[in-house]
């Protein structure tokens, strides 16, 4: 099931064309290998959020081969410099990301870690201005306390796949991943320390500001 009308998807894709050769190569790699990346619509949003916050320290929970990292790194560099933490379990993905980021000339602002993402966040010194969450969906609820601890007041949490390809609308879908997405959404919306909105961009992006 597609959560958005295909016409809206196509329109947003058209508007979000960036003409960047490196990003286009990374997008083509994702299409060829059926590898999940956030894509240009969500990438543009993440970049804008980081610029609006003036973010200098960003932590990614689940970074793949660095597509979202590149959007965040450009924002941080344009904000005056800082750190973007790229975390993946897979050494080969980390090597790919290092190569892409080096090609973009942004190695100086990216820190690479091969580790389980939430464990890496726990071990990292906060606070962070922005945390991006794109780990396994059944792990979303359990990640929230660590995210909340490491994010500064006024900082932003962005969570990907919060419409979960329409599965959240299926009352009969009680799988661990779908349940994790639903529970994490409810936990953030019900917590007075967060001010949250679920944006129907791509597969659903949750934007939450830590207000207390």
Q: Where are the beta strands (DSSP E) in 89-200?
A: 110-114, 128-133, 151-159, 194-199
Model confidence band, residue 3 (pLDDT cutoffs 50, 70, 90): low
Could you say which DSSP state residue 16 is in? T
Is there a domain that residue 98 lies in? Answer: yes
What range does the domain containing 50 cover? Answer: 6-210
Is there a domain that residue 114 lies in? Answer: yes
Is there a domain that residue 158 lies in? Answer: yes
3-class secondary structure, 153 = strand
Which tokens go with 184? 């994490």
pLDDT of 45 reads: 98
Is there a domain that residue 203 lies in? Answer: yes
Is there a domain that residue 159 lies in? Answer: yes
**Average of pLDDT values for 66-75?**
98
pLDDT of 46 reads: 98
- pTM (predicted TM-score): 0.95
136-184 residue pLDDT tens: 999 999 999 999 999 999 999 999 999 999 999 999 999 999 999 999 9
Which tokens go with 208? 């939450």
Number of domains within the chain = 1
CATH number for the domain harbouring residue 101: 3.40.50.150
pLDDT of 13 reads: 85
As a whole number, the mean pLDDT across the chain is: 96
Model confidence band, residue 5 (pLDDT cutoffs 50, 70, 90): confident
Is there a domain that residue 1 lies in? Answer: no
pLDDT of 4 reads: 66
**4 or 11, which is more confident:** 11
pLDDT of 6 reads: 83
β-sheet bridge partners, residue 151:
128
Dist. CA 137–CA 186, nearest whole Å? 14
Q: Lowest-confidence range among 4-13, 58-67, 139-148, 191-200?
A: 4-13
Burial class (CB in 10 A: 0-12, 13-18, 19+), 31: exposed
Is there a domain that residue 153 lies in? Answer: yes
pLDDT of 8 reads: 87
Is there a domain that residue 97 lies in? Answer: yes
Model confidence band, residue 7 (pLDDT cutoffs 50, 70, 90): confident
Dist. CA 192–CA 211, nearest whole Å? 8
């Amino acid at each position: 099931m597609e959560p958005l009308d295909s016409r809206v998807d196509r329109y947003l894709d058209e508007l979000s064309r960036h003409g960047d050769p490196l990003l286009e190569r990374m997008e083509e790699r994702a299409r060829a290998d059926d590898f999940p990346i956030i894509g240009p619509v969500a990438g543009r949003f993440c970049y804008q959020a980081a610029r609006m916050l003036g973010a200098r320290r960003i932590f990614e929970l689940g970074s793949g081969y660095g597509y979202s990292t590149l959007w965040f790194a450009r924002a941080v560099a344009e904000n005056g410099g800082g750190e973007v933490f790229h975390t993946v379990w897979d050494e080969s993905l980390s090597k790919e990301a290092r190569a892409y980021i080096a090609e973009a000339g942004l190695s100086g602002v990216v820190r690479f870690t091969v580790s389980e993402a939430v464990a890496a966040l726990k071990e990292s010194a906060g606070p962070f201005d922005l945390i991006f969450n794109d780990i396994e969906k059944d792990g979303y609820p359990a990640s929230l306390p660590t995210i909340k601890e490491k994010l500064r007041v006024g900082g932003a949490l962005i969570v990907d796949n919060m419409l979960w390809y329409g599965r959240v609308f299926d009352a009969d879908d009680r799988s661990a991943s779908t349940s994790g997405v639903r529970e994490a959404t409810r936990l953030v919306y019900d917590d007075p320390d967060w001010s949250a909105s679920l944006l129907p961009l791509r597969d659903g992006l949750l934007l939450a500001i830590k207000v207390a």
